[in-house]
Structure 1
């Protein structure tokens, strides 16, 4: 699991969590593709592991959102 500590993948993961928590994992997928497109447009390369780290953060954020909604539903 050392691939996530390379480059700035941990930032991709961490910044995706609140985006998915407030919106959805589909939004995070768009963000991930947009970030990789920007990297490629400015002379970098498309990094599938960056995209994967972003999506994994989005999945975690979406799960936290679902847990919050479920908890609020159980309280009321």
Structure 2
């Protein structure tokens, strides 16, 4: 799991948690693709590991959302 500590992947993971908690994992997938598209347009490269880090954060957020909904109901 050392790949998650490279580059700005911790930020991808952390910023995706609130998006996953407030919205859905599908929204987070769109965010991940959009961030990578932006990186590519600015001369970077498409990085699937950045997308994976974002989706992991979104999954954590989605689990938090489900747990909150279970507690409310």
TM-score w.r.t. length of structure 2: 0.99
Match of 1:68 in 2: 68
Give the gaps of 5 or more residues in structure 1: none
Runs of 4+ in 1 over 2 A off after TM superposition: none
Displacement, 1:63?
0.5
Bigger radius of gyration, 1 or 2? 1
What is the aligned-residue RMSD (CA, Å)? Answer: 0.4
1:56 to 2:62 alignment: no
- Paired with 1:15 and 1:44, the residues of 2 have a C-alpha distance of 20
Asked whether 1:13 is paired with 2:23, we answer no
Unaligned 5+ segments in structure 2 are none
Residue 10 (structure 1) shift: 0.4
Total equivalences in the alignment: 73
